[in-house]
Structure 1
Amino acid sequence: MSNTGKSLSDQAVQELVAKLKQAIATGTYQPGEWLKQIDVERSYNVNRFTVRSALSELHSNGFLQHVPYKGYRVTEHSLQERIAITEARELIECAAAARVIANMDSPGLQRLESLALEFRDALNAEDRPRMMKVNFAFHRCFNDYCRNPHLSRMVDELRERGVGNANRGWTKRSTQEASAQDHLDMVEALRDKNLVRLQALIHIHLNRWRQGYDSLSS
C-alpha cells in the first residue's frame, strides 16, 4: 500500500473511532451491548478492515470488551469504576473552571445558554437521544473554553467512558429536570464570573447520576 493509501486508511479508521466513541457517549450503544461487525459496516458505510481496526483500537483504549469467538461489546463499568471516573472528572473540571471563566466571551455564553435551553426543550419533548447529544455538546463547549486541547480531550475521554453507566440515574424525571437547571445555573455563574458557585455546580451536576442508586443518594 502506498503512503497515500495508508494515510487515507488510517484517517478512515480514526473517523470511525470518533463516531463510535460519540455513539457510546450519547447512548446509541448501551453498556454491555454487542457491536456486530457487519452492522457497523452497514451503519457507517465502511469496509471490514476499517471496522476491525476501529474496534481493536476502542478495545485497547477500554471502550469495548473483547470476548473470544463472540466479538466486541461496550464496556460496562462497575459502580466503583463509575465513582472513580466521576471523581477524576470533578477534580479536573473544578480546577479548569477558573480558566473557563477567564476565557469566556459573549459568543460562548450565548452558545452555552442556547444548548442549555435546547436540552430543556428535549427534556420536555421526552427526546432522550437528543438530550444526550445536547448534554455532550454543552460540556464540550464549556471545557473548550479552558483553551487547553489536551485537557479537553482528557475530559471528553472520561465522559465517554463513564456516561453509559450514568444512564441509570438519568432515568428519573426529577434528576433530568435538576440537570437542566444545572446547565442554566452554570451559565449564570459564568456570566457573573462566580468561581465558587461554578465549582459547586460542577460538583452537584457531575454527581446527579448517583440518585439512581439508593446506597449513594442518601
Structure 2
Amino acid sequence: MPTPQHQGIHKRSLLRNDVYESIRDAIVDGTFAPGERLRDPELEAWLGVSRTPIREALLRLERAGLIIAQPGRATIVAPFNPESTLSAQQVVAAMHELAARLAVPDLKNAALESMTAANAKFAAALKNDDVDAALAADDEFHAVFLDACGNDMIPTVLDSALPVVRRVERQRFSSHAARHSVTAHAGIIALAASRDADGAALRTRENWLSLGRSADSKAPGS
C-alpha cells in the first residue's frame, strides 16, 4: 500500500506526551497544589505550546483523577481523596505483583544486582531526606521486574494509576515512614534470588499496599 500522506504524526505524539508529563509531574511534586486552578493561558506561556495539546493533556489527567474539570467554570487540581488513592494503589500493587510473578522464574543475576544497587540508592536518599532521589531509586528498583516480566500491558496500566499514588508517596518519602521499605526491598530481592516467584510477588504487593497504611494520616488535608 502507498505510504500514508499524513506527516509529523510522531512529532505531534511526542509533543502531547511531553505536555502531559510536564503538567502531571507538576501536580505530583506539588508545584500545582490541590485545589489550585489551572488556566490555559498560563499553561501555554509556561510550556510554550498551543492550547490543543494542553487540552488533550488535561483530558488525560482528568481520566487519571489528577484534575477536576468544571464545565464553564474552571479546571482545578484534584484534592487528595482517600478513596481514589486507595483504588489506584490497589491497581498499582496488583500490576507490580503480576510483574514480579512473571519475572522471577527467569530473572538474571545482573537484574538482582541492579535491584540491590537501586535499594542502596534508595536507602541513601532517604537518609539524606532527598525525596526526588528516593522516588527515582524506588522506580529503578521496581522497574527491574517490569522490564523482565514480558508483559507490555502492565506499564500501560501503571501509567494511568501510578501518578495518583505518587502524590501520596511523596509525603511518605519525606517522613520516616518509608524507612521500612528498604527492608521490604531486601526481602523481595532475597525471595527473587531463591526463585520464589509467589513469595516475591506477594511481598511486592504488600510493599505497595503498605503505602496506604503509612500515608493515611500524612496526606495533606487529612
TM-score interval, smaller chain = 0.7 to 0.9
Cross-structure match for 1:185:
187
Whether the 8 Å CA contact 1:140–1:152 is kept in 2: the answer is no
TM-score by length of 1: 0.77
Partner of 1:12: 15
Cross-structure match for 2:96: 93
> Which structure dedicates a bigger proportion of its chain to helix?
1
Shift of 1:108: 2.0
Aligned-residue CA RMSD (Å): 3.0
| Equivalent position amino acid for 2:166 in 1 | V
Q: Among 80, 83, 101, which residue is 2:86 paired with?
A: 83
Are 2:97 and 2:201, in contact at CA under 8 Å, matched by a contact in 1?
Answer: yes
Q: Which amino acid aligns with 2:195?
A: K
The runs of 5 or more residues in structure 1 that have no matched partner are none
Q: 1:99 to 1:136 in 2, by over 3 A?
A: same
Q: Given the alignment of the two structures, is residue 152 of structure 1 paired with residue 155 of structure 2, yes or no?
A: yes
Q: Distance in 2 between matches of 1:187 and 1:28?
A: 34
The alignment of Structure 1 onto Structure 2 pairs a total of residues equal to 212
1: CA distance, partners of 2:135 / 2:178: 11
Cα gap change, 1:82 to 1:69, in 2 (>3 Å): same
Match of 1:132 in 2: 135
Q: 1:34 to 1:187 in 2, by over 3 A?
A: farther
Distance 1:197 1:164 in 2: 28
Identity %: 17
SS of structure 2 residue aligned to 1:3: coil
Residue from 206, 209, 212 that aligns with 1:204: 206
Q: Tell me if the contact between 1:63 and 1:74 (Cα under 8 Å) persists in the aligned partners.
A: yes
CA deviations 1:7-35 (Å, max 9, x no partner) are 53343112322444455456665544544
Task: Give the Cα separation in 2 of the matches to 1:22 and 1:194.
Answer: 35
Deviations 1:51-82 (A, max 9, x none): 23322332244332223466433333522222
Which runs of structure 1 show a deviation greater than 6 angstroms over 4 or more consecutive aligned residues? none
1:206 maps to a residue whose letter is W
The answer (yes or no) to whether the contact 1:63–1:75 under 8 Å persists in 2 is yes
TM-score normalised by the chain length of structure 2:
0.76
Once the two structures are superposed, what CA deviation does each residue of 1:97-137 show, in whole Å capped at 9, x if it has no partner? Answer: 22110242233222222221111111111111221232233
Contact 1:103–1:147 under 8 Å retained in 2 = no
Give unpaired runs (5+ residues) of structure 2.
218-222
- CA gap of 1:156–1:25, structure 2 versus 1, over 3 A, is farther
Amino acid at match of 1:121: A
Displacement of 1:149: 0.7
Judge conservation of contact 1:65–1:72 (CA < 8 Å) in 2.
Answer: yes
State the shift of 1:202 in Å: 1.6
Residue 168 of structure 1: how far off its partner (Å): 4.4
For residues 42 and 21 of structure 1, what CA distance do their matches in structure 2 show?
17
3-state SS of 1:207 partner: helix
Q: 1:81 to 1:65 in 2, by over 3 A?
A: same
